[in-house]
């Protein structure tokens, strides 16, 4: 039996052990296959996934890197590498790996999800929001993405958006404690705020400017309109802030890196191509943010045109 056939048989045995959750046996068999031939991407990929299950993340990262070296167009290897590097707290390297994976395959929802995890750990909340939103665009039924997005909105004190995503997460996974706790906390805060709100003494009118009787809003009659208008304004403001963040944290560094590659001949062709790819990805993020901001402003304008009249 030739080495290729032997490796395939060993990989099949390893996959069976993996399916049976016998991680040590799967590891042993994959290592046997690796001993026969060290440059088979599938063997490294299988071994990396076993190391991940065994929580040996450094070894997992090594073998995912080997896959990207041997098969540089394999999007899943970059995305898994990014997920492992995140666990190893190597955040910048994780972002680079995830972006490369998404550049190769922009439909990988797990890539955007993991990018959201990394950006949140880095403290880049606006970029984390963008990543989670893209994950939910690709898979609106991703409960974990809804929960994580809700948590970020909560941290940013954007409680209405947080509540929406907590509720959606709970709809997708009934009985889940985490979104239930978030919902309860926001409702408790809302109830407390209402109790603390000052009230006017009976018989004393609050001073006010003369209303425009043609275009006036009564909170008791137009609560739904006011809620939608406020939500649209918040969304537009958030997209505007995100656009500025992308310019500062993605476009500007990408331009500097590309300029250095072009100005100095010491960089290889591969490095130049990587710089160009990073710049193209940053431009894509900027265009997406611009389109989203334009859509939010259109929504806000439509709400303004629907201003209640009497």
pLDDT for the residue 219: 54
pLDDT for the residue 93: 96
**Can you give the residue ranges of every domain in the chain?**
140-193, 223-305
pLDDT for the residue 163: 94
Are the CB atoms for 47 and 31 separated by under 8 Å? yes
Phi then psi dihedrals of residue 275, to 5 deg: -60, -45
Are the CB atoms for 121 and 86 separated by under 8 Å? yes
57-70 helix and 75-87 helix, angle to the nearest 10 degrees: 160
Q: Give the Cα separation of 59 and 41 in Å (integer).
A: 15
125-138 helix and 269-305 helix, angle to the nearest 10 degrees: 80
The residue written with tokens 């500025």 in the block is: 244
pLDDT for the residue 123: 93
Arch. (CATH architecture) of 140-193: Alpha Horseshoe (1.25)
Are the CB atoms for 135 and 148 separated by under 8 Å? no
pLDDT for the residue 108: 95
Q: How many CB atoms lie under 10 A from the CB of residue 135?
A: 25
- 275, 279, 282, 287 alpha-carbon torsion, rounded to 10°: -160
Are the CB atoms for 61 and 35 separated by under 8 Å? no
Q: Give the Cα separation of 83 and 111 in Å (integer).
A: 8
Q: What does the pLDDT profile of the chain (310 residues) look like in tens digits?
A: 567 889 999 999 999 999 999 999 999 999 999 999 999 999 999 999 999 999 999 999 999 999 999 999 999 999 999 999 999 999 999 999 999 999 999 999 999 999 999 999 999 999 999 999 999 999 999 999 999 999 999 999 999 999 999 999 999 999 999 999 999 999 998 888 777 665 444 444 444 444 443 444 455 555 666 666 666 676 677 677 777 778 777 887 888 777 677 655 556 777 777 878 878 887 887 787 777 777 777 776 776 666 555 4
pLDDT for the residue 114: 97
How long is the chain?
A: 310
pLDDT for the residue 266: 57
The set of residues, in sequence order, having a beta carbon less than 8 Å from that of 37 and lying 6+ positions away, is 3, 4, 7, 43
């Amino acid at each position: 039996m030739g080495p290729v056939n032997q490796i395939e048989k060993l990989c099949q045995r390893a996959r069976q052990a993996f399916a049976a959750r016998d991680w040590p046996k799967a590891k042993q068999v994959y290592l046997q296959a690796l001993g026969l031939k060290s440059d088979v991407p599938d063997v490294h990929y299988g071994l990396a996934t076993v190391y991940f299950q065994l929580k040996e993340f450094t070894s997992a990262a090594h073998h995912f890197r080997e896959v990207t070296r041997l098969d540089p167009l394999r999007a899943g290897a970059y995305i898994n590498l990014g997920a492992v590097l995140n666990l190893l707290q190597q955040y910048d390297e994780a972002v680079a790996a995830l972006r490369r994976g998404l550049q190769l395959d922009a439909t990988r929802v797990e890539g955007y999800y993991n990018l959201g995890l990394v950006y949140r750990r880095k403290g880049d909340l606006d970029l984390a929001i963008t990543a989670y939103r893209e994950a939910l665009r690709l898979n609106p039924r991703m409960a974990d993405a809804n929960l994580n997005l809700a948590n970020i909105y909560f941290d940013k004190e954007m409680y209405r958006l947080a509540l929406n995503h907590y509720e959606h997460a709970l709809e997708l996974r009934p009985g889940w404690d985490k979104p239930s706790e978030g919902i309860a906390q926001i409702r408790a805060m809302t109830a407390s705020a209402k109790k603390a709100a000052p009230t006017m003494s009976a018989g004393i009118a609050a001073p006010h400017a003369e209303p425009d009787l043609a275009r006036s809003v009564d909170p008791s009659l137009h609560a739904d309109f006011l809620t939608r208008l406020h939500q649209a304004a918040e969304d537009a403001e958030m997209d505007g802030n995100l656009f500025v963040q992308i310019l500062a944290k993605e476009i500007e560094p990408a331009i500097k890196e590309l300029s250095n590659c072009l100005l100095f001949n010491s960089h290889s062709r591969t490095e130049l191509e990587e710089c160009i790819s990073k710049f193209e990805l940053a431009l894509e993020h900027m265009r997406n943010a611009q389109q989203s901001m334009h859509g939010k402003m259109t929504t806000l304008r439509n709400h303004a045109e629907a201003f209640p009249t009497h």
